[in-house]
Amino acid sequence: MAKKTFKNVQELGDLPNIGKSITGDLNLLGIFKPEDLRGKDAYALYNTLCSLTGKRQDPCVIDVFISAISFVDGGPAVPWWHFTDERKARLKK
């Protein structure tokens, strides 16, 4: 099986860790294709999503956003939970 790289990605659902639910969230945020994630801030996207939906989303959504942005920006395809410690450390500050 070939290693997943950005050049193999055409739709949001092709990104690692992105399923139908997160695709819907990203669409709500005005993100419709993988390139739209380039250079985005996962924490800002999360805060906007919470505002748009009127409820606090699970903080793990931040991890998923970080993983997708990292991949689009050239990082490896890794499970979203690899970013949990990063999120917790940043939010603790």
pLDDT tens for each residue of 36-90:
999 999 999 999 999 999 999 999 999 999 999 999 999 999 999 999 999 999 9
Q: How far apart are the first and last CA of the chain?
A: 40
**Number of helical (H) and strand (E) elements in the chain, helices listed first:** 4, 0
Across residues 22-35, what is the average pLDDT?
A: 97
Give the C-alpha separation, 76 to 74, whole Å: 7
Residue labelled with tokens 């390139």: 35
Both tokens of residue 84?
Answer: 């949990």
